[in-house]
């Protein structure tokens, strides 16, 4: 007589459990990759925004070089983005160079914090803990002609190396080399005031 093989029971259930574990690990990997991608994208957007803001201030000063001393007198910017608009309003009427510089600085501080974009009653379009600094070194004793440095500084989402290393000027915050979340964009350029020549 021929022996009847025993039927196996529960084998399909074990295969399903193993498949479920493998699928779960794969999905967790996809979720963590998505989170990492989101963080990297946010940091790239922040850096791009900082470059745009620094460049915008450089162009504002190049348009109004005779007021360069007014631009540099307010370092660092970023503490009070909700301050009242300076008077006179240079968008609607004529201004002298110093009034225009005060208005430019007011607008730049608001742009740093992103107060034009609101979500839930809070600023949502700017940098995280932004600071802006403008420094100027005159050339050959001229008042408004020389080397200008515009720095935009903000807090990154993850710790890396401090963007400001020893010997470099700090716009705001901790000493150079001690803040692993600090990010910074610096534009160095030359400003020429034709009336100063």
What is the structure's pLDDT at 26? 94
The pTM of this model reads 0.78
Q: What is the C-alpha separation between 153 and 173, in angstroms, rounded?
A: 10
Please, which residues have CB within 8 angstroms of residue 42's CB and are 6 or more apart in sequence? 157
Please, which residues have CB within 8 angstroms of residue 103's CB and are 6 or more apart in sequence? 85, 86, 89, 90, 91, 95
Q: What is the C-alpha separation between 197 and 8, in angstroms, rounded?
A: 97
Indicate the pLDDT class of residue 5, thresholds 50, 70 and 90.
Answer: low
Q: Is the pLDDT score of 167 beyond 80?
A: no
What is the structure's pLDDT at 80? 79
Q: What is the C-alpha separation between 196 and 67, in angstroms, rounded?
A: 11
Q: Which of 4-18, 68-82, 128-142, 183-197 has the lowest mean pLDDT?
A: 4-18
Q: What is the DSSP letter of 192?
A: -
pLDDT one-digit tens code per residue, 40-95:
888 888 999 999 999 999 999 999 999 999 999 888 888 877 888 888 888 888 88
pLDDT one-digit tens code per residue, 96-108:
999 999 999 999 9
What is the structure's pLDDT at 102? 92
- Are the CB atoms for 151 and 184 separated by under 8 Å? yes
Tokens standing for residue 117: 């974009």
3-state secondary structure of 182: strand
Q: At what angle do helices 97-113 and 11-63 cross, to 10 degrees?
A: 180
């Amino acid at each position: 007589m021929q022996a009847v093989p025993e039927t196996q029971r529960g084998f399909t259930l074990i295969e399903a459990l193993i498949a479920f574990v493998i699928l779960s690990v794969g999905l967790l990997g996809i979720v963590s990759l998505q989170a990492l991608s989101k963080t990297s994208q946010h940091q790239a957007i922040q850096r791009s925004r900082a470059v745009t803001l620094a460049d915008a201030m450089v162009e504002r000063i190049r348009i109004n070089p005779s007021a360069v001393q007014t631009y540099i007198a307010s370092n660092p910017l970023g503490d009070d983005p909700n301050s009242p608009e300076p008077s006179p309003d240079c968008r609607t009427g004529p201004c002298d160079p110093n009034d225009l510089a005060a208005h430019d600085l007011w607008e730049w501080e608001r742009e740093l914090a992103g107060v034009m974009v609101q979500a839930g009653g809070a600023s949502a379009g700017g940098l995280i803990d932004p600071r802006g600094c403008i420094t100027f070194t005159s050339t050959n004793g001229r008042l408004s002609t020389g080397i200008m440095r515009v720095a935009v500084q903000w807090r990154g989402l993850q710790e890396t190396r401090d963007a400001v290393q020893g010997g470099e000027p700090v716009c705001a915050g901790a000493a150079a080399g001690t803040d692993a979340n600090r990010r910074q964009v610096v534009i160095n350029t030359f400003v020429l005031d034709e009336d100063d020549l």
